[in-house]
């Protein structure tokens, strides 16, 4: 992989306080004077801390993101910042050519409302003079000391509450901003993040938080401010006093913790050697040759795929991964969406009465796909493209001794793994009365304990 030494030095200089005179050794991928800052960056993003430019670190560095430093100590503006008032004004100084004036106005208004909904803060637009939050689109050097870098890279930046530029938000007009489509960079999402800085928030290490540094597309029609962001902004300004305490409170989205012993996964699948664990709006990637487990938002990779999926499985025969929710199925070729999807689950010849699939197990030796539906299993022969005769069968008949609802299933190193709400079990073959194994997924590493059903 070709390394642009200027890019990485600029990245660490702007975001992690690297002195501008530091040197970079591109050939050895070793940084002289950069190692300490790179370790801080790796620690912030919960990567393996090596102080060297490994592939995972490079991948994170190349993601489009906010231009505000990740570590508060390297911000030009030291101290705890918050507005001393709750009534704030904003002004849109100019517009991007990517969107209509009405679309920009609406995106900015909704982005501010995200924060007003959970705090006492109230925002009023003005059309002339100096507002608390001045909003502008600019390119390259725009006279604030933080020049933009062209398409991608740094999308925008904002300043915390203080005199001068305090509260202002600047957007890189070399980017392509969008209104409600996932193409380009959604202005509502970028602006909502930047306004968090305008109100005094720093970056969050929670990958599900709006204030996470890198850009991730989310469904804006169903967007709700995540729990981490609500906690952060309310620590500065308190809750919204206009909310009736007797009214039912919406539950902000919470980022699942892979170490939570009560965690019940939605689905698990292999993808070309990687293990993929799905839960609510997120998935984890476990690499075969690395101890690192990465957590991502599903829509950050595939905006078309819904959250809270029901099942997933890899078909080596088709070299595809299938994602199922309800009566629809999506297909991936590697990490790319396959055109023509979603399709109906009827492509697997399942009867019309099947409206939801709990889990799917793909048997690589026989090319059979087992669909878990309530307490029954349907067997689909992928080579022959038809359901097998004699199915559905009770789960206990196919897997002797297995009780309870299966929420996810997958093959791992030639063995079949089943995940249930209270038990993780594993057996050697899709036959009854054989030796079975219990599998515990802890931090998404596999530990085995052999036992037998009598």
Burial 290-305 (b: 16+ CB within 10 A, else e): eeebbbbbbbbbbbeb
**For residue 381, how many other CB atoms are within 10 A of its CB?**
14
Residue 98: which region, alpha, beta or left (left: phi > 0; alpha: psi -120 to 50)? alpha
Q: Active site includes 194?
A: yes
Structural domains of the chain, ranges and CATH numbers in brackets? 1-62 (1.10.101), 87-237 (3.40.390.10), 267-449 (2.110.10.10)
Tell me the chain's radius of gyration from C-alpha atoms: 25
Provide CB contacts within 8 A for 353, sequence distance 6+. Answer: none
With tokens 């905006």, the residue in question is: 303
Q: What is the pLDDT of residues 163-196, one digit of tens each?
A: 778 899 999 999 999 998 888 999 999 999 999 9
**392 touches 358 (CB < 8 A):** no
**What stretches of 201-331 show up as alpha helix (H) in DSSP?**
227-237, 298-301
The pLDDT score that the predictor gives to residue 124 is 98
d(CA 174, CA 96): 9
Q: Which pLDDT value is given to residue 159?
A: 93
Residue ranges of the chain whose pLDDT lies below 50? 1, 26-30, 74-78, 422-454
Annotated binding-site positions: 66, 98, 132, 142, 144, 149-150, 157, 166, 168, 170, 172-173, 175, 193, 197, 203, 211, 266, 310, 312
Neighbour tally for 393: CB within 10 Å: 15
Annotated binding site for Zn(2+): 66, 142, 144, 157, 170, 193, 197, 203, 211
Query: pLDDT digit string (tens) for 297-344?
Result: 898 889 889 999 999 999 988 899 999 999 999 999 988 999 999 999
Diameter over CA atoms, the chain: 81
Angle (nearest 5°) at CA 452 between 440 and 278 = 25
Give the model's pLDDT for residue 419.
Answer: 73
Binding residues for Ca(2+): 98, 132, 149-150, 166, 168, 172-173, 175, 266, 310, 312
- Catalytic one of 40, 55, 56, 194: 194
Distance separating alpha carbons of residues 279 and 264, to the nearest angstrom: 8
**How is residue 362 written in tokens?**
């793909």
Q: Decide: 60 and 16 in contact? Cβ < 8 Å.
A: no
Strand intervals (E) in 308-432: 311-315, 320-325, 328-333, 336-337, 343-344, 359-363, 368-373, 376-381, 386-387, 393-394, 406-412, 415-420, 424-427
**Lookup: tokens for 58:** 């490079």
């Amino acid at each position: 992989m070709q390394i642009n030494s200027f890019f990485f030095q600029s990245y660490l200089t702007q975001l992690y306080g690297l002195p501008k005179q530091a040197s970079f050794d591109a050939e050895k991928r070793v940084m002289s004077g950069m190692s300490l800052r790179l370790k801080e960056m790796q620690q912030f993003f919960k990567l393996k801390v090596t102080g060297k430019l490994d592939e995972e670190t490079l991948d994170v560095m190349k993601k489009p993101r906010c231009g505000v430093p990740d570590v508060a100590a390297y911000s030009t503006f030291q101290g705890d910042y918050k507005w001393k008032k709750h009534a704030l004004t904003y002004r849109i100084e100019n517009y991007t050519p990517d969107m209509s004036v009405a679309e920009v106005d609406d995106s900015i208004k909704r982005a501010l409302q995200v924060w007003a909904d959970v705090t006492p803060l109230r925002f009023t637009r003005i059309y002339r003079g100096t507002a608390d939050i001045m909003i502008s689109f600019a390119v390259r050097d725009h006279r604030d000391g933080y020049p933009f870098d062209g398409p991608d890279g740094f999308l925008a930046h904002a300043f915390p509450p203080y005199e001068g530029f305090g509260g202002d938000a600047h957007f890189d007009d070399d980017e392509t901003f969008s209104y409600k489509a996932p193409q380009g960079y959604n202005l509502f999402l970028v602006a909502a993040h930047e306004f968090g800085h305008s109100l005094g928030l720093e970056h969050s290490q929670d990958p599900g938080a709006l204030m996470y540094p890198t850009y991730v597309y989310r469904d804006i029609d169903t967007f709700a401010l995540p729990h981490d962001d609500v906690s952060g902004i309310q620590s500065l300004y308190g809750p919204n006093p206009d909310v009736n305490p007797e009214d039912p409170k919406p539950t902000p989205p919470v980022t699942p913790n892979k170490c939570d012993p009560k965690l019940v996964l939605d689905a698990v699948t292999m993808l070309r050697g990687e293990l993929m664990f799905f839960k609510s709006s997120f998935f984890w990637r476990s690499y075969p040759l690395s101890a690192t487990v990465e957590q991502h938002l599903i829509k950050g990779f595939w905006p078309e795929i819904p959250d809270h999926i029901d099942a997933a499985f890899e078909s080596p025969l088709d070299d595809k991964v299938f994602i199922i929710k309800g009566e629809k199925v999506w297909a991936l070729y590697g990490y790319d969406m396959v055109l023509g999807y979603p399709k109906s689950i009827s492509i697997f010849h399942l009867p019309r009465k099947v409206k939801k699939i709990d889990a799917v197990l793909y048997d690589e030796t026989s090319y059979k796909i087992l669909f878990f539906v309530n307490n029954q299993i349907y067997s689909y022969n992928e080579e022959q493209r038809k359901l097998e005769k004699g199915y559905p069968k009770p789960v206990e008949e196919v897997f002797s001794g297995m009780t309870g609802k299966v929420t996810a299933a997958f093959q791992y190193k030639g063995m079949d793994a089943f995940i249930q709400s209270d038990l993780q079990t594993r057996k050697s073959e899709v036959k009854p009365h054989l030796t079975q194994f219990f599998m515990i997924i802890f931090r998404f590493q596999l530990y085995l304990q052999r036992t037998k059903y009598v």
